[in-house]
Amino acid sequence: MSTITRKRRVEPLYYLFLFPSLILFTLAITVPGIVGIFYSFTDSIGIGDWKFIGLTNYRALFSDPAILQAYLFTFGIAIATVIVVNAVSFLLALGLTARIRFKTALRAVFVIPMVISGIIIAYVFNFLFSNSLPALGSALGIDWLETSILANPNLAWTAIVAVTAWQAIPSTMLIYIAGLLSVPGDVYEAADIDGASKFQQLTRITIPLVFGYVVINMILGLKNFLNAYDIIVGLTNGGPGTATRSIAMTIIAGFNGGDYAYQMANATIFFIIAIAIAVLQLSLTRGRNRI
């Protein structure tokens, strides 16, 4: 038999689908991104003349308390939301994969928040936090509830975490359900025969076998929550003051305020952080943690 392997021919139809998408992606994403990175080394305000100023914008970023505050706030709510979302989603997934009645209908109910626009959700909860809860607090005589937490710079972040988690839980829960359903039933039958309790099965069988799904949900959630924008706009619009202004809000506000090059440098740093998180995700999901 001949040892020469014929190179497999690529169907021209593949190129027909590939090149238009590649061209559109390059023109809409890659080229504007490269241009934006270039302008981060200038003093451009978005229009008109500009001059090259090197790393001046980047040096200013690391000494700007408003920028540092935005990064601290964004990472803080992202980490808090990741913990809340994954804990609640995993518990819901356990319940919705157990032998309970109407679990299919319940799954459909729980995914409803996922299909609603974030800005709509934010405005609905804004009304609840600003009107319904204070009215309830007044009726019950609960002093701390009589004032909207959205107006409290120390508590407004909790509302953002709660609403963001409410929208994000369904998609995370579906991933956990897929992971739990992939665990062979024979493993649990063997554990029952050996006398393992439900808690032991959870900690020694379920969690280790779905750990790859946990890692993916944690990393994907962190990347998504770092881009927090629409829910914050609808709830607090960055207030009170700038207490809840995220990185994305800071960048967009700078673009609109004639601070184009400076905020483009900020966006470039943010892009590098997102790439680092993506690389971390690939390294953690490779090998034994890969689904």
Which pLDDT band holds residue 290 (cuts at 50, 70, 90)? very low
Predicted pLDDT of residue 282: 74
Q: What is the pLDDT of residues 148-162, one digit of tens each?
A: 889 888 889 999 999
Q: Whole-prediction pTM value?
A: 0.84
| Mean pLDDT value across residues 189-216 | 87
Does the structure show a pLDDT above 90 at 88? yes
Residue with tokens 């408003």: 66
Return mean pLDDT, the chain. 86
Task: Identify the CATH number of the domain in which residue 209 sits.
Answer: 1.10.3720.10
Q: What is the pLDDT of residues 24-35, one digit of tens each?
A: 989 988 899 899
Number of structural domains (the chain) is 1
Which pLDDT band holds residue 257 (cuts at 50, 70, 90)? confident
26 in a structural domain: no
151 in a structural domain: yes
28 in a structural domain: no
Predicted pLDDT of residue 285: 67
Q: What is the pLDDT of residues 99-116, one digit of tens each?
A: 777 777 777 777 888 888
75 in a structural domain: yes
Does the structure show a pLDDT above 60 at 188? yes
Range of the domain at 211: 66-287
107 in a structural domain: yes
